[in-house]
């Protein structure tokens, strides 16, 4: 098999419950159908649905390798790999930007999914830099759990109330801790 002469980076982003992982898995499955060798990575911190799987809130899943830090990805890339998937990229260190760029430079298609903003509504980890470096960006929306309009924010809840601004940024969870909200209904008390 002749490798591609050029690679690229795709980023799928948006709030929680917007379908980012479903879209990542859809693209990965299409790559498999096209007979491309695919490898998928996720941060080891994300053990919500299984250690060696990328799993969407809707239940779709794809085998994945958990890694502690972004640089670990380069050490386990198979020479036959043509497509690399990375889920929950906001949890990786800033080196994920360089790692994805290096993979693309080697001719690989790199598909990254992650939250663009944290529960405060502020840029989340390395995602803004990935958005700037990517050739293709898709920002998905969820449905506001208050009014039913399109949602672009992630609301963290503590005992049913909005988390305070000074609460920790990284707390891995799903619908028991978070819900999608529109700009109007997103709350971050100080």
Tell me the CATH number at 42: 3.40.50.300
Q: Report yes or no on 177 lying in a domain.
A: no
Expressed as residue numbers, the domain containing 30 is 8-140
CB atoms within 10 A of CB 2: 5
Q: Is residue 66 part of a domain?
A: yes
> For residues 181 and 144, is the Cβ–Cβ distance under 8 A?
yes
Q: Residue 169: inside a domain, yes or no?
A: no
Average pLDDT, the chain: 92
Q: Is residue 114 part of a domain?
A: yes
- The set of catalytic residues is 88
Q: Does residue 174 carry a pLDDT above 80? A: no
Closest CA to 88 of 182, 12, 169: 12
Question: Residue 142 and residue 16: Cα distance in Å, rounded?
Answer: 7
Q: Indicate whether 181 pLDDT > 90.
A: yes
Question: 52 versus 67: which is more confidently predicted?
Answer: 67
Domain membership of residue 25 (yes or no) is yes
The pLDDT value recorded for residue 107 is 97
Answer for the pair 138, 22: CB distance below 8 angstroms, yes or no: no
Residue 160, domain member (yes or no): no
Higher pLDDT, 175 or 115: 115
In a domain, 136, yes or no: yes
Instruction: Judge contact between 130 and 123, C-beta under 8 A.
Output: no
Is the residue at 135 inside a domain? yes
pLDDT of residue 49: 61
Check residue 182 and give its pLDDT.
98
Number of domains in the chain: 1
Cβ partners under 8 Å of residue 66, min gap 6 = 41, 42, 43, 44, 46, 47, 51, 52
**In this model, does residue 189 exceed pLDDT 60?**
yes
Compare 159 and 123 and report the one with higher pLDDT.
Answer: 123
């Amino acid at each position: 098999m002749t490798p591609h002469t050029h690679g690229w980076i795709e980023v799928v982003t948006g709030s929680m419950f917007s379908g980012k992982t479903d879209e990542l898995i859809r693209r990965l499955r299409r790559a498999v159908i096209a007979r491309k060798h695919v490898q998928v990575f996720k941060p080891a911190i994300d053990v919500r649905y299984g250690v060696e799987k990328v799993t969407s809130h809707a239940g779709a899943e794809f085998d994945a390798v958990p890694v502690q830090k972004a640089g670990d990805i380069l050490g386990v890339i198979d020479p036959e790999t043509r497509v690399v998937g990375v889920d929950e990229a906001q949890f990786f260190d800033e080196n994920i930007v360089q790692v994805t760029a290096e993979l693309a430079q080697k001719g690989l298609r790199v598909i990254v999914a992650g939250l663009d903003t944290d529960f405060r509504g502020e840029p989340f980890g390395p995602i803004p830099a990935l958005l700037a470096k990517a050739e293709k960006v898709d920002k998905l929306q969820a449905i506001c759990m208050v009014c039913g309009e399109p949602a672009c924010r992630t609301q963290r809840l503590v005992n049913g109330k909005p988390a305070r601004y000074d609460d920790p940024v990284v707390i891995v969870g799903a619908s028991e801790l978070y819900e999608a909200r529109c700009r109007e209904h997103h709350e971050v008390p100080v």
